[in-house]
């Protein structure tokens, strides 16, 4: 009935993403053995009570304010356990606090579940928190990923709205690089109703509607500002879509197809010691990445995004949260 009965630890489970995640894991038949963790014990108990009141068949859900208890024997970990951003902030404004949380998470994993099969980091800036957790956890790089697909689903939905077509009529949408304002929103590979976006930008139409280069720039900006727009509209950061996409990702690790880019540790092809969204495949082995194809403009945007992440990573090294690159192997022997 469930894709796995191995333990899934959900960290940040008192929050909106975490509690939705637990519910979605159960409602979608993905996992029934779930440990909910959050330091906010009262809210956590409330979230767990609500899950119990849903009465999911075969549900085996526990809750604890002790991170070690939640992590012990966990096969899978999904964490939204960092501070969310508020209106007017960038995701990177969260770095100082959330980087420390990510370092502690990595240390806790090393101590309590060094053999866990998959760690998915959601809290922002996810490329950096995922990287920090990877280095400190000692996990193999393929076992750690970050949620990146929301930028591509936002591209898909923005194009569907522009061309007035059903969302799944827009295919091949991909953003790569960082999950921040510097993300690379690719045009190559995208099709609207079967018409390549590159041809539409050269004068073709889809559903009798065209798109000018300026309109494409607006769409790219809208995707880059997609998370901020939700905060502006709802007065709080997104929670339904990250919870759902995270469950889709876990299902990818459990053998179901997952079509969106994921965060991966990238060290090769001119990119070094970084976590960022790339073309990826999820499987029981975790996440593996490859180089994207794209127009020169797309690929330059990816390089710019990478350079931005390098500056953020180097600041984290300067702050002492990450060791110098040459010493990463001492924290994590799986890293070159």
Site for ligand LMR, rule CB under 6 A: 85, 91, 124, 150, 226-227, 230, 237-238
Note whether 246 and 78 are within 8 A (CB).
yes
Note whether 122 and 147 are within 8 A (CB).
yes
Indicate the residue among 23 and 245 with the shorter CB distance to ligand LMR.
245
Q: Is 296 exposed, middle or buried (0-12, 13-18, 19+ CB in 10 A)?
A: exposed
Least separation in angstroms between CB 112 and ligand LMR: 27
Least separation in angstroms between CB 314 and ligand LMR: 22
Indicate the residue among 233 and 311 with the shorter CB distance to ligand LMR.
233
Indicate the residue among 226 and 292 with the shorter CB distance to ligand LMR.
226
Indicate the residue among 109 and 183 with the shorter CB distance to ligand LMR.
183
Least separation in angstroms between CB 189 and ligand LMR: 21
Indicate the residue among 238 and 331 with the shorter CB distance to ligand LMR.
238
Least separation in angstroms between CB 237 and ligand LMR: 4
Least separation in angstroms between CB 211 and ligand LMR: 24
Least separation in angstroms between CB 301 and ligand LMR: 18
Indicate the residue among 32 and 220 with the shorter CB distance to ligand LMR.
220
Distance, in Å, from the CA atom of 67 to the CA atom of 166, rounded to the nearest integer, reads: 43
Least separation in angstroms between CB 125 and ligand LMR: 8
Length of the chain, please? 336
Indicate the residue among 51 and 178 with the shorter CB distance to ligand LMR.
178
């Amino acid at each position: 009935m469930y894709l796995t009965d191995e333990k899934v630890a959900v960290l940040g489970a008192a929050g909106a993403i975490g509690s939705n995640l637990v519910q979605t894991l159960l409602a979608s038949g993905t996992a029934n053995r779930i440990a909910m963790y959050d330091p906010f014990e009262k809210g956590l108990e409330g979230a767990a009570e609500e899950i119990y009141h849903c009465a999911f068949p075969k549900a085996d859900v526990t809750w604890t304010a002790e991170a070690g208890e939640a992590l012990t024997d966990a096969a899978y970990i999904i964490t939204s356990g960092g501070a969310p951003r508020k209106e007017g902030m960038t995701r990177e404004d969260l770095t100082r606090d959330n980087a420390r949380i990510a370092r502690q998470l990595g240390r806790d994993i090393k101590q309590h579940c060094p053999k866990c099969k998959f760690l998915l980091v959601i809290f922002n800036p996810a490329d950096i928190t995922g990287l920090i957790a990877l280095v400190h956890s000692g996990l193999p790089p393929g076992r750690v990923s970050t949620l990146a697909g929301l930028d591509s689903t936002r591209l898909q939905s923005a194009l569907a709205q522009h061309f007035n077509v059903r969302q799944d009529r827009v295919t091949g949408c991909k953003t790569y690089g960082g999950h921040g304002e510097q993300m690379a929103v690719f045009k190559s590979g995208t099709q609207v109703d079967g018409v390549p976006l590159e041809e539409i930008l050269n004068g073709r139409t889809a559903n009798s509607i065209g798109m000018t280069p300026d309109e494409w720039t607006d769409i790219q900006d809208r995707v880059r500002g997609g998370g901020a727009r939700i905060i502006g509209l709802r007065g709080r950061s997104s929670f339904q879509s990250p919870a759902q996409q995270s469950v889709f990702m876990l299902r990818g690790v459990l053998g179901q197809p997952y079509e969106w880019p994921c965060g991966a540790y990238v060290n090769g092809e001119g990119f070094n010691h970084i976590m960022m969204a790339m073309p990826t495949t999820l499987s029981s082995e975790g996440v593996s990445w490859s180089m994207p194809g794209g127009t020169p403009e797309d690929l330059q945007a990816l390089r710019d995004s990478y350079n931005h992440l390098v500056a953020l990573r180097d600041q984290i090294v300067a702050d002492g949260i990450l060791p110098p690159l040459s010493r990463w192997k001492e924290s994590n022997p799986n890293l070159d």
